Amino acid sequence: NAGVTQTPKFRVLKTGQSMTLLCAQDMNHEYMYWYRQDPGMGLRLIHYSVGEGTTAKGEVPDGYNVSRLKKQNFLLGLESAAPSQTSVYFCASTSERGGPFNTEAFFGQGTRLTVV
């Protein structure tokens, strides 16, 4: 009964380094999302995927890349980290709209990333 699992939970990067955040869900959800959370700004969508092999840009995509090679996994990459990318990152998944009880989004535990 894992739900959505993000790894790692914490990370400190130096400016210019790269890293990949992994999101894994075991609910067979079609839709997966990456958000960043900053004080006073809520959660802002970075990239999302509506199915295996698909990705699309969200509200704040610059500096990030994503891949969804397998339905259960959604990867978020930072090729050259910048201090402005210091944030808490959340992955979420949902099923397609099909009724009133499967609309809930399930979230990972979040990843606190600090870029120095």
- The reply to whether 64 sits near other proteins by the rule CB under 8 A is no
Contact between 116 and other proteins (CB under 8 A)? no
How much helix, strand and coil, in percent to the nearest 5, is found in the chain?
A: 5, 45, 50
Among 33, 78, 87, 115, interactor with other proteins by CB under 8 A: 33
Name which of 79 and 104 has its Cβ closer to other proteins.
104
Q: Which of 2, 28, 40, 62 lies at the binding interface for other proteins (CB under 8 A)?
A: 40
Interacting residue with other proteins among 50, 63, 73, 77 (CB under 8 A): 50
CB 46, CB 38: distance < 8 Å: no
User: Cβ distance 94 to 25 under 8 Å?
Assistant: no
Q: Where are the beta strands (DSSP E) in the chain?
A: 4-7, 10-13, 19-25, 31-37, 43-49, 56-57, 65-67, 73-78, 87-94, 106-107, 111-115
Looking at the Cβ atoms of 8 and 16, the one nearer to other proteins is 8
Residues of the shown chain interacting with other proteins in the complex, contacts defined by CB under 8 A:
31, 33, 35, 40-45, 48, 50, 56, 58, 88, 90, 92, 94, 96-97, 100, 103-105, 107, 109-110, 112
